[in-house]
């Protein structure tokens, strides 16, 4: 029970990597706040998780692109559970669009959710963690936080920003007993990929030396390690969970 006694917030928690992280944290003894947009079935999922595991699982709806909602989310979590010990900054959106067809609004929307949203959640959590003198934040970056890819201008810009934001927050808050790291998943077999053609799916598989897509629970396992006391001397790191995708690139 590596997370026994810890209170963990997971954004984007109602599906894919986020939901896998919720389950793993509950298995490890944490109390979990699952957050996502309203209407994603979060309430029923949290209720199911609470009955399935011995730990507490609460759902609090929040849009990470809205500062007031993010601040309310963290205040409610603190009021319900008494502390914010760990955060998985996982909410995000993707998509492929030729750069010349990307509107200002579309570009800003992806930046607002994938980068500024990560900042909003981190800022609110850090304000609480400073008073506690402890805490850990893990931001979900991407392999595309390190490398470019055609037709992903906004996404790669955002994820590259997440990687460097992580390093900056780690430096600033290490003296205060707070750790900040990021995870860089490769292509993970989640509902986001369900509409891909078989040809595109095979192409994505071919990018990974291990010869397959990743599984949500493999990213969740990395999060559990980083948020646990086993990673107590790790901060400012970007842990690639990518089946070797980035190993041969520089």
pLDDT averaged over the chain? 96
The answer to whether 231 and 179 are in contact (CB under 8 A) is yes
Separation CA 123–CA 140 (nearest Å): 15
| Total residue length of the chain | 250
The answer to whether 216 and 24 are in contact (CB under 8 A) is no
Separation CA 116–CA 217 (nearest Å): 26
With cut-offs at 50, 70 and 90, classify the pLDDT of residue 245: very high
3-state secondary structure of 125: helix
Beta-bridge partner residues of 88: 10, 138
Give me 234's structure tokens. 């790790």
pLDDT at 141 over 70: yes
pLDDT at 250: 67
Tens-digit pLDDT profile for residues 145-195:
999 999 999 999 999 999 999 999 999 999 999 999 999 999 999 877 878
The one catalytic residue in 59, 88, 119, 155 is: 155
DSSP-derived secondary structure letter, 246: T
CATH of 7-241, one of 3.90.1150.10, 3.40.50.720, 3.40.50.150, 3.90.420.10: 3.40.50.720
3-state secondary structure of 172: helix
**Residue boundaries of the structural domains of the chain:** 7-241
What ranges in 56-102 are assigned the alpha helix state H?
67-81
- The yes-or-no answer on residue 155 being catalytic is yes
H/E run at residue 137: strand 135-140
Give me 127's structure tokens. 């304000």
Instruction: Identify the residue with better confidence: 142 or 250.
Output: 142
pLDDT at 181: 99
CA torsion through residues 130, 134, 140, 144, sign: positive
């Amino acid at each position: 029970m590596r997370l026994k006694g810890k209170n963990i917030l997971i954004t984007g928690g109602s599906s894919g990597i986020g939901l896998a992280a919720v389950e793993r944290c509950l298995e490890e003894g944490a109390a979990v706040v699952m957050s996502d947009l309203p209407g994603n079935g979060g309430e029923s999922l949290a209720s199911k998780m609470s009955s399935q595991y011995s730990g507490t699982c609460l759902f609090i709806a929040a849009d990470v692109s809205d500062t007031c909602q993010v601040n309310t989310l963290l205040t409610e979590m603190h009021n319900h559970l008494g502390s914010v010990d760990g955060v998985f900054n996982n909410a995000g959106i993707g998509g492929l669009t030729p750069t010349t067809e990307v509107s200002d609004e579309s570009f800003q929307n992806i930046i607002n959710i994938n980068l500024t949203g990560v900042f909003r959640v981190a800022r609110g959590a850090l304000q609480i963690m400073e008073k506690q003198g402890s805490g850990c934040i893990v931001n979900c970056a991407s392999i595309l936080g390190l490398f470019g890819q055609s037709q992903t201008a906004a996404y790669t810009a955002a994820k590259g920003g997440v990687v460097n934001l992580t390093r900056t927050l780690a430096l600033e808050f290490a003296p205060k007993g707070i750790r900040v790291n990021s995870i860089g998943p490769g292509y993970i077999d989640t509902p986001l990929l369900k509409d891909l053609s078989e040809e595109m799916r095979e192409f994505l598989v071919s990018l990974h030396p291990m010869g397959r897509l990743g599984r949500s629970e493999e990213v969740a396992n990395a999060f559990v390690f980083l948020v646990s006391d086993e990673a107590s001397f790790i901060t400012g790191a970007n842990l690639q969970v990518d089946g070797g995708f980035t190993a041969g690139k520089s």
